[in-house]
């Protein structure tokens, strides 16, 4: 789906959401809003296709791990839950920090700087894991922690949706829509997780006769990704601080 169509699709759903919020706030019943709620799943799934949402972190981590598909899905679920939940918590606790314009939907300089810092932490962890861990295996518990860390970067459109609902004093509608968005985000990230596992397993079959080379390639992928994340995080933080 071309980017322009994705942007227009998101805008159409958001505008429809805004109309339903206004109608509900004006005394409308639950029926119309609940009937519209499944569109939040489509909204979240399509939004997760856009840049961000830690897809590259998820794919890189799973490519370099030994996790099977069902455990990889746990990582994607942890990432999705934290990604959306953090946005909800920030909206509830720090409404003045959030932009109210659609162009800069849910953005805030301080929150963006925090996100870059978290990316750097994840990059450092991935780099250290690749360089210093002898046995390159990853438990499902460790994977959930990685998903949690990556998900700490809040979803900007969830911030915007929650802010709009709070402005109209119908927080429950924002929470319900956020849950439906989380399901959609999880569907997209789960697809990314499964594709990463399939890619790794196919690569493993190709290198079945050379396990040492496979281990080296896996560690190299994780190390390179970690170094890139550290570089990007450092650049963005220095620019935010006015040093770049």
List the pLDDT tens digit at each of the 244 positions of the chain: 566 777 788 888 888 888 888 888 888 778 888 888 898 999 899 888 887 667 877 887 787 777 889 999 999 999 999 999 988 988 888 655 544 444 444 445 565 666 667 778 877 887 887 777 655 556 667 788 888 888 877 888 888 888 888 888 889 999 999 999 999 999 999 999 999 999 888 877 777 667 677 677 777 877 887 787 788 778 767 876 765 4
Cβ 80 vs Cβ 186: under 8 Å = yes
Mapped onto helix, strand or coil, the DSSP state of residue 209 is coil
For 45-65, the pLDDT digits (tens) are 988 888 766 787 788 778 777
Q: Give the number of other Cβ atoms within 10 Å of residue 133's Cβ.
A: 12
Q: What 8-state DSSP symbol labels residue 28?
A: -
Phi-psi map region of 52: left, alpha, beta (phi>0 left; psi -120 to 50 alpha): left
The separation between the first and the last C-alpha atoms of the chain, rounded to the nearest angstrom, is: 35
pLDDT tens column, 224-242: 877 877 887 787 678 767 6
> Could you tell me the CA-to-CA distances from 191 to 3, 58, 121, 151, 157 in Å, in that order?
19, 11, 25, 16, 21
Alpha-carbon distances, residue 136 vs 126, 128, 129 (angstroms): 11, 12, 8
Distance CA 21, CA 15 (A): 10
* Cα 95 to Cα 102, 103, 111, 157, distances in angstroms: 15, 17, 12, 14
Q: Where are the domains of the chain?
A: 3-117+134-205
């Amino acid at each position: 789906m071309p980017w322009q169509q994705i942007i227009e699709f998101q805008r159409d759903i958001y505008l429809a959401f805004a109309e339903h919020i206004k109608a509900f706030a004006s005394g409308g019943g639950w029926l119309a809003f609940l009937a519209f709620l499944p569109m939040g799943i489509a909204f979240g799934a399509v939004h997760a296709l856009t840049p961000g949402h830690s897809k590259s972190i998820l794919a890189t981590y799973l490519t370099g791990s030994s996790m099977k598909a069902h455990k990889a899905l746990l990582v994607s679920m942890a990432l999705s839950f934290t990604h959306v939940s953090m946005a909800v918590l920030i909206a509830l606790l720090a409404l003045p920090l959030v932009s109210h314009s659609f162009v800069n939907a849910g953005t805030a300089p301080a929150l963006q700087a925090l996100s870059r810092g978290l990316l750097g932490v994840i990059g450092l962890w991935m780099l250290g894991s690749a360089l210093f861990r002898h046995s390159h295996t990853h438990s499902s518990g460790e994977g959930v922690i990685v998903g949690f860390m990556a998900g700490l970067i809040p979803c900007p459109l969830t911030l915007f949706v929650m802010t709009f609902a709070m402005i109209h004093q119908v927080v429950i509608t924002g929470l319900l829509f956020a849950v439906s968005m989380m399901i959609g985000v999880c569907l997209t990230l789960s697809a990314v997780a499964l594709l990463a596992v399939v890619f790794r397993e196919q690569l493993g079959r190709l290198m079945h006769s050379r396990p040492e080379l496979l281990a080296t390639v896996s560690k190299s992928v994780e190390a390179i990704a970690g170094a890139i994340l550290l570089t990007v995080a450092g650049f963005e933080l220095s620019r935010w601080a006015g040093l770049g």
